[in-house]
Structure 1
Amino acid sequence: MSEALVDEIEAINSIYGDNTLVQLQDAAHQENTYILTLPSPSDNLNDDAPSSSSSLRIQFSPAYPDKPPSILGTHSLGGHAKRGAAARELELFRAAVGDVFEPGQVCLFDAVERVKELLLSEADADAGVEADYNEEGVEIAPQKQEQEEEPPWVLSDPVVELKSTFIARCAKVSSPAQAARYVQHLLSTDKRVRSATHNMTAWRIRGEGGASFQDCDDDGETAAGGRLLHLMQLMDLWDTMVVVTRWYGGQKLGPRRFALINQAARDAFVKAGLVAETGTGAGATRKKAHGK
């Protein structure tokens, strides 16, 4: 098993929960076959929501991540699944892997996030219009439900070291109030982020009339927010915010953690097209920033 795959398994299980990605213990199947339980989009919104009812069998070539994983099919279907849900998730995940895979870069995190976005979009489309009826029971003009402003996050690849996992999100913002709303939206709608060890933030905003605003929040990781803000200053980034989430892996990283926090943040900035690419590495969990 490659080091990149080991790190990816740790990252996936740190972010989405233990046993999200596990090796299939079945002699009838070829080795390097894993079971991925896709997190349900509703998991972001409700601590009591059930996890995805279907899981997928994935086989990794010894050459992974130079070669893409093979999506063999569904593995199981739980009692809460709607008819065709597992087949739909399988179809979406295969398409997502095809879209995000780049030789030399692990791809499961990006593929999972892509599927979650598509499933949420489909759920919003189903729930966004409510039928109304008059006293005679005749349907009248439907009304769209108002929705909260959805932050346009661009995510970094996971960075893993000693089982700690870091992911950065950046977004364009035009006011400190908007930046604060984006942070609140993230914490209120994603329980994995909300339950993470730290969510460090920084933002820099140019206001009208020559005014400017910049601020940061360590969220318990002393000096981390200030270092993120300094990184943004060095990159001359404006009208942008970043949130770096850390899931602690049980082993202290010392000062090395600040380099990993900045690495994740920079990767998000590069993916968002805010700074130029400076290099790539062997895998998403240890590579330098790159664009798509």
Structure 2
Amino acid sequence: MSEALVDEIEAINSIFGDGTLAREQDDDLSVFVLTLPGDTASLRLQFPPEYPDVPPAVLGTHSAGSAGKRGAAARHLALFRDAVGEVYEPGQVCLFDAIEKSKSTFVARCAPVTSPSQAADFLAHLLATDKRVRTATHNITAWRIRGPNGTSFQDCDDDGETAAGGRLLHLMQLMDLWDTMVVVTRWYGGQKLGPRRFALINQTARDAFVRAGLVKEEGAAGGAGGKKKGGK
């Protein structure tokens, strides 16, 4: 098992709960069971030795869940295969590390987008398919898109974390990032962080940009002092 896969399994299980991604009980050590968020359905995945340079194979369903409706397992399988095909890039894992500080947890997701409607669709799909994201304290977003004939679009949303969206957008401007969006999810842990929360939000986003291959990392990414979950 590659070091990248070990880190990714640890990050996924630390965010979504122990056992979300676990090795299947058989002789093939490359086969894992992924329990889908907000559902008892689960899928069988096979990670080749070359992962993440080679994508995982979605073998089929493991369980449709006790409350699964007729045909639900097939729909889950088709949606997940489509998602892997859309987000997988050679050498890149699919989920970025969480950062934890004073019981608050921050997770960033970035995705390529080519229109404002596609950016809105990405966020809507994320909220519709992931219960933990949907019930998070904040989902802060920003995107920048180059349109035809020299036009451009950019926007952001604080989602209740005042001024955080504008700071994310400013970070993207400084990094000269285009045709991408970022969603930083925060689960509030009960302890106020004050202005430091903005540094943690931007640090989480920057790490996602770097790991997605959108920018070359130069030294340490930020200095807000958060603890990474799933990293070394």
Both proteins in one fold, TM over 0.5: yes
Identity rate of aligned residues, in percent?
Answer: 59
Which residue, 189, 203, 212 being the options, matches 1:249? 189
Which residue, 12, 20, 36 being the options, matches 1:38? 20
Asked if 1:122 corresponds to 2:63, the answer is no
The 1:280–1:231 alpha-carbon spacing in structure 2 relative to 1, beyond 3 Å, is closer
* Cα deviations by residue, 1:130-174 (Å, 9 ceiling, x for unpaired): xxxxxxxxxxxxxxx975963527543111111111110111111
Aligned length: 184
Shift of 1:11: 9.0
* Cα deviations by residue, 1:76-117 (Å, 9 ceiling, x for unpaired): xxxxxxxxx9xx88x86xx78x968xxxxxxxxxxxxxxxx9
Which residue, 109, 116, 136 being the options, matches 1:169? 109
Normalization by structure 1: what TM-score? 0.53
Larger Rg: 1
RMSD: 3.9
Shift of 1:273: 1.1
Shift of 1:197: 1.2
Residue identity matched to 2:40: P
Which residue, 35, 40, 47 being the options, matches 1:50? 40
The 1:118–1:235 alpha-carbon spacing in structure 2 relative to 1, beyond 3 Å, is same
* Aligned 8 A contact 2:13 2:20 in 1: no
* Cα distance in 1 between the residues matched to 2:95 and 2:115: 21
Shift of 1:204: 0.2
Structure 1 match to 2:214: 274
Structure 1 spans left out of the alignment, 5+ residues: 1-8, 21-36, 53-84, 101-116, 128-144
Residue identity matched to 1:187: L
* Aligned 8 A contact 1:43 1:191 in 2: no
* Aligned 8 A contact 1:10 1:160 in 2: no
* Aligned 8 A contact 2:145 2:153 in 1: yes
Structure 2 match to 1:202: 142
Structure number with greater CO (CA < 8 Å, separation at least 6) is 2
Asked if 1:16 corresponds to 2:6, the answer is no
Shift of 1:243: 0.5
Q: How does 1:46-125 map to 2 (within 5 A)?
A: 47=38, 49-50=39-40, 118=56, 121-123=58-60
Q: How does 1:253-268 map to 2 (within 5 A)?
A: 253-268=193-208
The 1:217–1:123 alpha-carbon spacing in structure 2 relative to 1, beyond 3 Å, is farther
Residue identity matched to 2:36: D
* Aligned 8 A contact 1:11 1:165 in 2: no
SS in 2 for 1:181: helix
* Cα deviations by residue, 1:252-283 (Å, 9 ceiling, x for unpaired): 111111000000100010011111112248xx
* Aligned 8 A contact 1:156 1:265 in 2: no
Which residue, 217, 237, 251 being the options, matches 2:157? 217
* Cα distance in 1 between the residues matched to 2:181 and 2:144: 7
Structure 2 match to 1:152: 87
SS in 1 for 2:206: helix
* Cα distance in 2 between the residues matched to 1:155 and 1:42: 15
Structure 2 spans left out of the alignment, 5+ residues: 1-9, 22-32, 65-76, 89-93
SS in 2 for 1:215: strand
Residue identity matched to 1:169: R
* Cα distance in 2 between the residues matched to 1:12 and 1:164: 17
* Aligned 8 A contact 1:155 1:271 in 2: no
